Chains A and B, each alone.
Chain A
C-alpha cells in the first residue's frame, strides 16, 4: 500500500505528463493541416506526370531508356525505406519497418542481393539491428523546414538515377506510408526503377494518336524519367509527413485519455487511503478514551 505522499507525487507526475501529451496532440493537429494540404496539392502534378509518361512509354515500346525498361536482370534490389525523423507517433514507423523487413526477407529467400537506403532516422535505427550490414546510404530529413521537401527529394532522386546508371542496383522499391486519411496510413511498397506504369493509364484512349515530339521521343523520355522519379519521391515524402502527424495526433490523443483515466483511479485510491487514515485515527482516539 503506497503512502499518501507517494500517491500525491504520482498524481502530480501523471498530470504533467497529460499536459505534455495534450500539447503534442495540438501541435500535431496544427502541423497535420498544413502537411495534408501540401500532400493534396502535390497530387495533380504526380497524376498528370504519370499519365504523360504512360502515353509516352506506350509508344516508346521496348527500345526506351533503361530507367523505363530495366537492365534486363533483377539480381540486385535497392529498398528505400521512408520513415519519420521522430518517434512518439504510435505505430507509424514500426508498420513501415515491418513491411520493409517482410520485403527484404522475401527477396533474400529468392536469392537476390538486397541493399537498403534509409530516409528518416527512425527507420535506420529500427533496421540497423537486423540489417545494418546492408545499408548503402541514408538521407537525413531533420534539416527540412516547414514541410518543403522538394530539395531533399530532388537530391535523393538524382542520387538514385546516378547509382542506377552506375549499375549499383537493378530494381529500386520505395517503401513508405501512404496517407489515406487521418485515421489510416497504409504502408506501401512502390517500384520506382524500372518505372512502373499505373495500370489504368494503359488504355488506348490516346495511345494510338500520332504525336509530334520536340526535340525527340527519346530526348523527352530521358528528361522526363528522372523527374518522374523525383516526383514520386517528393509525393511519398509529403504523404509520409502528413501520415506522421496524423499518427502522432491519434497516439497523443490516446495517451491524453489514458493519463486522464490514470489520474481518476489514482485520485480514488488517494481519497480512500486518506479516509482510511482518518478512520484509523478516530478509532485510536475513541478506544483510548474508552480505556480510561
Chain B
C-alpha cells in the first residue's frame, strides 16, 4: 500500500499521537468503525473504548479514549478525546489505585456539586479502562 492515512489523536493535555498509519479502528457512538486512506468525509462522536492503530494488518498501538470526536477529512483522521492513554502505559494496579482515589473524592462532595459530575465521568472512564485491560 503506497498511500498512508494521516492520523492524529489529541487530548486537552497533549498531542498523544500524530503520524502516518495504515488503518485505524475507533469506537464510534453508533458502532465501531475502521478508517483507511481515502475514506469519505465522516464525522462522529465517540464512546469510551479502545482506538486501535494497525500497521500491515497487525495492531501496533492501542489507545484508550474517553468521549470525543472523530473527524475524517480528505487530509486524514483527527480524533479529539477528552482523555486518552496508551494502554501499554497503564497497569491494572495503577488504575485500581486511581479508581479508589476518585471514589473517595466523590464521596467527600455534595450531591449537587458540579465537580461531582465531572469526577463521576472520570470514574466511569477508569472503570471501563479497567475492563479494557482485562481483555
A interface residue numbers (CB < 8 A to B): 38, 41-42, 44-46, 48-49, 52, 55-56, 150-151, 154-155, 158-159, 206, 209-215, 219-220, 223-224, 227, 231, 234
Contacts and interface: CB of A to CB of B under 8 A. Distances in A.
Contacts of A150: 12-13
A45 B29 contact: no
Interface stretch (B51-59, B88-96, B112-120, B127-135): B112-120
B28 A214 contact: yes
Interface in B78-114: 78, 80, 82, 114
B71 interface: yes
A55 B70 CA distance: 13
Contacts of A212: 40-43
Nearest to B39: A212
Nearest to A162: B114
Given A52-B43, A159-B114, A212-B40, A220 B69 contact: yes
B18 to A, nearest CB: 8
B30 interface: yes
Chain B's interface size range is 20 to 34
B43 A227 contact: no
A150 B119 CA distance: 11
The A contact surface, by secondary structure, is: helix
Given A48-B10, A55-B73, A212-B43, 20 more contacts: A41-B13, A42-B13, A44-B8, A45-B10, A45-B80, A49-B80, A52-B71, A55-B71, A150-B13, A155-B114, A155-B118, A158-B117, A206-B41, A206-B73, A209-B73, A213-B43, A215-B44, A220-B45, A223-B69, A224-B69
Interface of B: 8, 10-15, 28-30, 40-45, 69, 71, 73-74, 78, 80, 82, 114-115, 117-119
A168 B53 CA distance: 45
A34 to B, nearest CB: 13
Contacts of B13: 38, 41-42, 150
29 contacts: A41-B14, A42-B12, A42-B14, A44-B8, A44-B10, A44-B14, A45-B10, A45-B12, A46-B12, A48-B80, A52-B43, A52-B69, A52-B71, A151-B119, A159-B114, A209-B41, A209-B73, A211-B41, A211-B42, A211-B43, A212-B41, A213-B42, A214-B30, A214-B42, A214-B43, A220-B45, A220-B69, A231-B12, A234-B12
A110 B108 CA distance: 46
CB-based closest 4 A-B pairs: A214-B44, A41-B14, A155-B114, A45-B10
A206 B74 contact: yes
